[in-house]
Each structure stands twice: as structure tokens, then as C-alpha cells.
Chains A and B, each alone.
Chain A
Amino acid sequence: MRAAAFDSELAKAGANVSSRWGAARFLARRYPLGAIGGVIMIVFLLTALLAGVVAPYDPLATNSAHSLAAPGTAHWMGADNFGRDVFSRILHGARISLAVGIGSTALGCFFGVILGLFSGYLGGWVDLLVQRLIDILQALPLLVLALVMAAALGPSIQNTIIAIAIPLIPTVARVIRANTLALRELPFIEAARAVGMGDLRIALSHVLPNTLAPLIVLATAQFGSAILTEAALSFLGLGIPEPFPSWGRMLSESAAEYVRTAPWLVIFPGLAISLVVFGTNLLGDAVRDLLDPRQRT
């Protein structure tokens, strides 16, 4: 669906689209769960942007006097074994989760789109080759591939993003390819071909914009799963290393040790992950309903 048709679609549905605010209000009424998801994501984004201003403590500063301090006025969410403030670390951790979510989704989508677009549009041996590559990547379980990649690349933020992005590629490529195949036969593409446009130009200027809707739906869903994969990798000792306050790392093996003596170390980061992924899922559902009417429930 193209952006131009979007307003008229809304108008047809009875929304007052004369102002952006009106459209937003209409959407919120139409998709109450999606609106909640949107609010969660906005809070998440603001947290990531403003962590440095809002956080009461330096997320890396250790303090032996506050080691394992329980939640209270000094530390809203308690302190970890190093005496680091959990609340501040969660605020800063939003940045890392955001980086991992956006970074790996963007990277995975970028390569997935390229592969899917060309394999779908060009067909022939390119398609055959790409399809096999996709088959192979898809038969390898996401976490297994990420595990091997993380072990291969070593623990760091960049490598974690790459390790999570690679398994995303085939999913994206498959969806884009299917869409491209369908689009290829449409009259306006044939028209472009008739006027002598090159394959590359058609693919980029006509096919690509028309696969945006399914891509957005997919990317929203993948954003959440990227955050979950990062958490699992960190739990298994790969993923993002100390001292970065990644939520997954905060939950990792050393924190799990305090699960009974200092449960706040396990509960708050886990809640943070769940809440953000929950937000993306709610938002993702609404986005899918809006952009992909065939799947509307």
C-alpha cells in the first residue's frame, strides 16, 4: 500500500484526517492495544534518548557500601552486587536494547531486501542460488546460528548485532521475494519496462517502494525477537559483555545467582525486556492490521 492511499483509506473508515492529531486519535480508538504498544515504545525511545539526563547514578560506578542494596529511596530498583544502581542501568540499557533492536533489524532487512528483491525480480539462476542460500540459513535454528556466530566473532555489541542479524536475512528475503514476484507481473511494472527503464532502476524505484508495507510489518516483529535473542545469548555467556548495562547481560548467569537473595536483579531487567517486546508486539499487530488488510482479524 502506498502512502498516498493511506489518508483516503482512513477517511473511508470515517476518520477525521484533516489533522495528524485526528488521525492519531482515530487510530488509537480503532486499535486500543496498538495504542498501548505505541505508548510503551515512545516511553522506551524517550528512555533511551534521555537516559543520561534522567538516570540518578552513573550506570558503571561501583560502590561497595551499596552492594546488593534492596529497592528503596536511594535505589528505586535496588543495587547489584557491585553496588551499581539497577534503575540507572535499566535506563541506560534501553540504549543498548534499542541499538541491538534497530541495528540487527536494519542490517537483516537491508541484506534480506537486496537478496529478496533481486532473486524475485531477476529470477533465473540468481533466484535459484538465493533460494538455496535462504533454505540453508532457514534450516539452521536462529539461536544456534547466533551462538556459532557469537563464538566466532567474540563478545561485543557490534558482533552481537551481526550475529542476530544474519538469521533475520532469510525471513526478510522470503517475504520480499514473494511480494516482488507478485509485483513483477503488474501492469505498471510492465509499462516501466516498455518505456525502456533498466532492471535495477525498476527494482529500486518501482518494486522496492511497493514492498515497504510487508517490510514494516516484518521489521516490527523482528525488532522484538532481536531483543529476546540478545537476552538469550547474554544468558548463555555470549552476547554483550560486561560492563555494558545490557538487559540480557543483567539477567545473565552471575545475576541469576542472586535470584533468591536479591530477586530485584532478576525481576526488573526481565520486566524491562518483556515490556518492550510486549510493546513491539502490540504495535506490530496494529501495524499489520493497518498495512496488510489481508491478514486483518
Chain B
Amino acid sequence: MTAYLVRRFLLMILTLFGISVIIFVLLRIVPGNIVDILADAAGFVNPAEKARIEAELGLDKPIPVQYAKWIGGLTRGDLGFSYVSEKPALDEILPRIPITARLAAAALVFSILFGVPLGVISAVKQNTSLDYGLRVLSLTGLSMPAFWLGLLILMAFVSLTGTLPIYSAAPKSFIDSLIMYSVPAAAVGFRSSALIMRLTRSSMLEVLRQDFIRTARSKGASEKSVNYHHALRNAVLPVITIIGIEAAFLIGGLIVTETVFNIPGVARFLVEAIRWRDYPIVQNLVMFVALIVVVTNFLVDMAYTALDPRIRYSD
């Protein structure tokens, strides 16, 4: 087990290294850099000025030198400076993380709150019209573009309440912040809740057919207790699986939702930084996202071993 952990850890580092190289090189071979964008704001390109600013930003050096400088800085906790705001990249990224984290957490809570119970109901009432209805609903969740749903929710919210859950840095009350996060969270979480529901349903069905449930039934456990106690406990795995799979997907949903609801989180910040070719922000943020995904997957695997005695890792 320890050997497996060490191996997994080393592979994680290797993966992150690979990502850092890919994103670094990819950004720099993309046509157009920050200087072109700055020149754009000035309305023309002046080659001499362009060269001067590139030298100022260190963009004139060979890519391996630039890369070494970045990684060297990273190991010292120095992420470099944003090309646009000229502030330390860390100061730009850090304050935005909690905003996105809250939104992601709210989306996750939303999706579990709806996904698990509906999945259980759907499994228990298998092949009834309720089951069909719920399955169609969950498929609908998987079929709608997240930003479109966000836009419709936004429109509906304004039409119904006459107000708008727009982001504010300091919400006046708990209710305010609840509304502020829950409406966009619903837009992001709809998809995940549909996935969780599907997986809960199928693993519930599998579990319900298994021996120990039959045993529980024969021992006289009530139908309700069987369904909600024994079976549900075994359906925790799919939820964890989804968290693993969705970690990478969620970022995509967050990007468009933060754009539609104007939430100044890291996801939208990343899109803006790509648009500006703000390399220090993009490369550090992508590394951060990759770290989250890799660590989540690692934890999910660990949770699997802990929760499911059938899975054992050998090495």
C-alpha cells in the first residue's frame, strides 16, 4: 500500500511537470502575445517599441530560459507578475479562489441534494412512469448547454422577482449571499446532479439485486429500511466517482456560468487571461487547476480503497 502511494505520488509529480511544459510551450507558440494586445490598444504596432517591451517582460529570451525562470520562481513561491495589472500573480489569483470554491461547493451540494434522492427513487420505482420521467429529466440536464441554462435562469429570476442575484464582494446578509451563490450554483450543478442521479440509480439497482440485501429482507428488515439504509450506504461510491470525473468538467461549467452571472472567480479570470495572453496568470492558473484535478483523482482513488473492500491495490 505504501509503495503504491509513493508510486502514485511520483506519477502525480510527473504529470504536473508534463502539464507545465505543455502549457508553457503552447502559450508561447500561439501567434500574438501581450505586447501585440497592448499595441492593439494603442491602435498600431511599432516594431521598436514592441521589442523594447518584450525585452522588459523577458519575452525575448529563449523558451527554455523563460521556463527555468518560471519553475525556479514556483519553487520559491514566486509566481511572477501579471503582464496586465503588473501586480504579483499570486495576489491576483489567491483572492479569486474562494469565490470559485464557494460556487463549486454550492454546485456540488446542489447536485448531491437532488441527484442522490432522485436516483434512489428512480431505482426503487424502476420501470414505472416516475422512473422514466426522472430519467428523461436527468438526460435533459446532460443535454443543455450550461450557459444557456444560466441565461434562462437569469431571465426567469429577473422576470419573477424583478431583481438580479448579481455578485457583490460583501453580501449584506446571509440570505443575500445564499441567493447570490445558489442561483448560479443551480446552473452549474444541474449537469452534475443529473450524472449523480444516473449513477446512483444504476448502482442502487445493482446493490438491490445483491445477496446481502436479500439477506436483510429475509431477516425481516422493512422495505424502507432496506432501501434507504443498506442500499444507499452502498451508493456512496458513485457520488465519489462523479466528483472525480466531474472535477475537470466542473471547471468548464464554472467558466461559462461565471461569465453569465458576472462572478469574478478564477474560472472567468482564466478566460480573460487567455484573451490577454497574460502568460504568468494563465500558466499558474492552469497548473493550479491541474493540481486540483490530479489531487482530486488521487483522493477519489484512496476513498475507493477505503470504502470498497473489494478493491485492493497491488504493486
Contacts and interface: CB of A to CB of B under 8 A. Distances in A.
B26 interface: yes
Contact of B290 (A33, A139, A224, A232): A139
Interface size class of A (residues with CB under 8 A): 35 or more
Interface string B265-279: 000001100110000
A118 interface: no
A173 interface: no
B195 to A, nearest CB: 11
Contacts, number: 135
B18 A274 contact: no
B259 A132 contact: no
B22 to A, nearest CB: 6
B30 interface: yes
Interface residues of B, number: 49
B222 interface: no
Contacts of A263: 155
Interface string A121-155: 00000000000110110111111100110011010
Interface in B87-121: none
A144 B22 contact: no
B14 interface: yes
B290 A140 contact: yes
B18 A132 contact: yes
Contact of A235 (B23, B147, B155, B293): B147
Given A141-B251, A142-B252, A232 B18 contact: no
B237 interface: no
A141 B18 contact: no
7 contacts: A136-B15, A139-B294, A141-B252, A154-B31, A232-B145, A235-B256, A259-B151
Interface of A: 33, 132-133, 135-136, 138-144, 147-148, 151-152, 154, 224, 228-229, 231-232, 235-236, 248, 251, 256, 259-260, 263, 266, 270, 273-275, 277-278, 281-282, 285, 295, 297
